[in-house]
Amino acid sequence: NEPKAELAFGMHVWPGLPTGTIASRPGTLMAAAETFEILIAGKGGHAAMPHLTIDPIVAAASTIMNLQPIISRSLSPLESGVVSVTQVTSGDAFNVIPASAVVKGTIRALTTKMLMSLRSRVEHVVETTSTVHGCNSTIKYSPDYYDNVDNDETLFENFSKKVGGLVSKEKYVRDIEPTMGGEDFAFLAQAVPSTFFFVGQGSGGDEAHHIPSTDYGLHHPKFALDENVLSIGVELHVNLAVRALKYLANSGDEMASEL
């Protein structure tokens, strides 16, 4: 517990921004995030005799489709949220209806309150759809969902955006819309005033010389790091650490011009 942390800073590469740029914003930057794993249990049997089974694959397919309208029909158009199914697993033979199916995915929202509301809707859809198909279902969540990442507004305006501007090739920190990406940095941001940055990396690569382009999105199969961004990240880290000490020594006063 000692010495007690007073400020926190973090960053993530961002392929949608040109290499050398830095972006962030005061207030909510990233979403609250939850993961789910749904187990749908039916009754297995021969694929030639489906009437003697309770097919969990059909129930899983219906569940996936029934989850889609949660955002479009349960959420205000003025709110933001995501329910994405990302993995479906069931069976291991072409002539066997399996006894169970597993559906995995994620829920995202810009507030924890909305995240919990969406989670309740997912539970309701899973339960009722499974019942319609004669199946049983259970749903598991991550042990510790991520809260939304909120940048402290005072810290951002008085310090963080100025330090970021010293490092950015543009000499300022770009304003960027909140993203539905989630970050465990949220746990730090809950504890102390914090700022999270996006470091642009989208200008790298030379496909003519077989150097992969670096503007593919995060988790895209062709994602590649622009290694030129590594020194930018180091420079931003060092400046934040050293200048934060002076900022704290000045009792959080607006960053002096000599910094």
Q: What are the φ/ψ torsions at residue 187 (nearest 5 degrees)?
A: -65, -35
pLDDT at 256 over 80: no
Q: For the segment 156-166, what is each residue's pLDDT rounded down to a tens digit?
A: 999 999 999 99
Cis peptide, bond prior to residue 3, ω within 30 of zero: yes
pLDDT of residue 208: 78
pLDDT at 216 over 70: yes
Q: Euclidean distance between the first and final Cα of the chain, in Å? A: 29
d(CA 234, CA 231) in angstroms, rounded, equals 5
Q: For the segment 154-201, what is each residue's pLDDT rounded down to a tens digit?
A: 999 999 999 999 999 999 999 999 999 999 999 999 999 999 999 999
pLDDT at 106 over 90: yes
d(CA 135, CA 168) in angstroms, rounded, equals 55
**What's the chain's average pLDDT?**
94
DSSP 8-state assignment for residue 140: E
pLDDT of residue 67: 97
pLDDT of residue 259: 57
